[in-house]
Structure 1
Amino acid sequence: MSLNEIRPWRNIYRRKSRQIHVGNVPVGGDAPISVQTMTNTLTHDVKATIAQIQACADAGADIVRVSCPDEAATNAMHEIVRESPVPLVADIHFHYKRAIEAAEAGAACLRINPGNIGSPERVREVIKAARDHNCSIRIGVNGGSLEKHLLDKYGEPCPDAMIESGMDHIRILQDNDFHEFKISVKASDVFMSAAAYQGLAEATDAPIHIGITEAGGLTSGTIKSAIGLGNLLWMGIGDTMRVSLSADPVEEVKVGFEILKSLGLRHRGVNIISCPSCARQGFNVIDTVAELEKRLEHIKTPMSLSIIGCVVNGPGEALMTDVGFTGGGAGSGMVYMAGKQDHKTDNAGMVDHIVDLVEQRAAVLDAQNAQDTAAE
């Protein structure tokens, strides 16, 4: 990412990692931090699984993980891979043969949990399948499923045990001359996850997949993830990420992008800056923002929109946004374009009007970007 010389306090210095690929998506190095989610349909229900993958891709998912618990699932992966708009990661637990079958079916990556995949010999068979079918591997260490000898050694799940587990399995891959891997050390405890990831970041140059596992429902899980992942990203740790929520996978993608957007690490869609509303508001801010969020979901062009209820902060926020609206009196407010006062509009039709303005502005920005790309 380019650094901000004018506002150096906004700079994030990403940890240097080597780059691998998950299908056509680069992970690590100077690649954008990719956003992942996981389907929750029955994998053998091919139609439902493909539909959910498509919905997640439409929301911005770069990579989608699909559970492969049985042969019916890995058999279904052949068709799912063919129809998927994004690379797929096969999620493997307990049965190493499912990993081999998923690789043969065309999965772009195999996620294996060292604590439950079996012996080093079985891991070697998985490595061979990955190499033969051009798959990458994610070593997925989880605080809830650590190997028994590590629990005996440390007494309980802890950052050191998670790091040791990860490094042990990195050595297995490296001893087999396999280097197309990334690694995660997830826990449901924010403190344990953060400490484990910090130690891991110092111990290896492998790309790191970050996440707070089993974070909870939409509200509580978003908060835990924003705290844990936000701090790691701010420290420069993380090459790909998943927000784990007990919610629609599309919501995981949305939250993941919002976390990255808040740190200036990814830019996609409309960033709405809005006030919490108060007695000074000239229109119903909460309902207006909720409707705008839904109606602007289709916009993928990075841009900003300020929706402020009154003139206390409205004009100042509008100075820094592509489109702005500030509430006034007598049932109307001021529209700002590219930071400048442009015209007034009535509150009654403001949502339709703002949607039109955002779509027009997005078209202009897209044209400019296309022109710049052609010039380069």
Structure 2
Amino acid sequence: MSSVRPYRQILRRPSRQIMVGSVPVGGDAPISVQSMTNTKTTDVAGTVDQIRRLEEAGADIVRVSCPDEESTAAFKDIVRHSNVPLVADIHFHYKRALEAADAGAACLRINPGNIGSEDRVREVVRAAKANGCSIRIGVNAGSLERDLLEQYGEPCPEAMVASAQRHMAVLQDNDFQEFKISVKASDVFLAVAAYMQLAEACDYPLHLGITEAGGLRGGTVKSAVGMGNLLWAGIGDTIRVSLSADPVEEIKVGFEILKSLGLRHRGVRVISCPSCARQGFDVIKTVETLEERLAHIATPMTLSIIGCVVNGPGEARETDIGLTGGGSGSHMVYVSGVKDHTINDETMVEHLVSMVEKKAAEIEAAKAEEAEAPAAE
């Protein structure tokens, strides 16, 4: 069916679907958002606490590093306390993958460049099969196999795809299809080119990421440019934003990237102006406060905060709730695009928070009623 607004239409690349625990990845499943804990895995309480915070932020999947035997022992306890599927991150020691699979990992992330021989990969496949977990082939530009570096001279898209295909073949030869693939690089151009080539070369689900992207601001920009480019082209089935920041920020940024492309909707999307001399209230402070106060809302909604009447009424027409700055501290509030009432500076924030919470509750109640209707019939 043709879209009313074809310029907004993104046609996702057809891919197989696998399961990461209870979360489907690929096919027609929503693009999942994930992050990774940065606590010591042996600190069970600290790691579980961070996983809970990630769950509250909307994480679909969480990855936990298992660098040693003590970590995989702790991982077993962590799995029992997690409400989202956990991916065990494995480097160098293939036995950690065997232990993590037995400990309840929903997925094993292995890096072909440092996991070892094909025999070791086969051992990992056997453990995955026995425990019903999936695998992510995690190719990284910084740890490509030596022979591929010698063949291609440097990390390049062709070398990264060749690495992925080599290890895809090992899994396929062992009659294992429950895997996804990533070809990450810190260089945006390299990562995007590698993913585009890989998308053409196979139909397995792809895990997107710009690795080692940097701090909160720089890493957000790099990730948005790289992953946004791929997602806009319909490539990508699950994403992780890699930031040198609180992992919760990775989830927030991931959802913002998806929301900006209309690929996933969670929480309040704020449309706001950069502010200028025409503003009728302090736009920047108001937006900062509202984003913080409304962070607990998971219901998809739109809220426009515009400082003056130049663009305010127009933006409000397209949002669930809108605020447009007026003169003498009296501002216009819009509901479903229609001017509804005015409000003053003193009560503005509290009033908008109350309106959003009430609207979210109404939306959720309507969803629940709709879900119950077929059962009643």
- Over residues 306-333 of structure 1, what are the superposed CA-to-partner deviations in whole Å (9 max), with x where a residue is unaligned? 0000000000000011111101011120
- Over residues 326-348 of structure 1, what are the superposed CA-to-partner deviations in whole Å (9 max), with x where a residue is unaligned? 01011120011111111001111
Q: Equivalents in 2 of 1:253, 1:152: separation in Å?
A: 37
Residue 82 (structure 1) aligned to one of 75, 80, 83: 80
User: Match for residue 138 of structure 1?
Assistant: 136
The 5-angstrom pairing of residues 156-305 of structure 1 reads 156-305=154-303
Gaps of at least 5 residues in structure 2 are none
Structure 1 segments (4+ residues) deviating >6 Å = none
How many residues in Structure 1 have an aligned counterpart in Structure 2? 374
The 5-angstrom pairing of residues 1-376 of structure 1 reads 5-376=3-374
Amino acid in the other structure paired with 1:237: I
Query: In 2, are the aligned partners of 1:37 and 1:64 still within 8 Å (CA)?
Result: yes
- Over residues 68-119 of structure 1, what are the superposed CA-to-partner deviations in whole Å (9 max), with x where a residue is unaligned? 0001110001110000010000000000000000000000000000000000
Amino acid in the other structure paired with 1:54: R
- Over residues 129-183 of structure 1, what are the superposed CA-to-partner deviations in whole Å (9 max), with x where a residue is unaligned? 0000011000000000000000000000000000000000000000000000000
SS in 1 for 2:115: coil
- Over residues 275-324 of structure 1, what are the superposed CA-to-partner deviations in whole Å (9 max), with x where a residue is unaligned? 00000000000000000001001100000000000000000000011111
SS in 2 for 1:207: coil
TM-score when normalising by structure 1: 0.99
Offset, 1:372: 2.5
Query: In 2, are the aligned partners of 1:327 and 1:334 still within 8 Å (CA)?
Result: yes
SS in 1 for 2:328: coil
- Over residues 7-56 of structure 1, what are the superposed CA-to-partner deviations in whole Å (9 max), with x where a residue is unaligned? 11100000000000000000000000000100000000000000000101
SS in 2 for 1:348: coil
Q: Equivalents in 2 of 1:4, 1:335: separation in Å?
A: 35
Offset, 1:374: 2.7
Offset, 1:4: 6.7
SS in 2 for 1:116: helix
SS in 2 for 1:111: strand
Gaps of at least 5 residues in structure 1 are none
Q: Equivalents in 1 of 2:116, 2:91: separation in Å?
A: 9
Q: Equivalents in 1 of 2:3, 2:180: separation in Å?
A: 32
Offset, 1:366: 1.0
Amino acid in the other structure paired with 1:96: Y
Q: Equivalents in 2 of 1:4, 1:189: separation in Å?
A: 36
Deviates more, 1:364-373 or 1:40-49: 364-373
Q: Equivalents in 1 of 2:48, 2:163: separation in Å?
A: 34
Amino acid in the other structure paired with 2:77: E
SS in 1 for 2:19: strand
SS in 2 for 1:144: helix
Query: In 2, are the aligned partners of 1:4 and 1:11 still within 8 Å (CA)?
Result: no
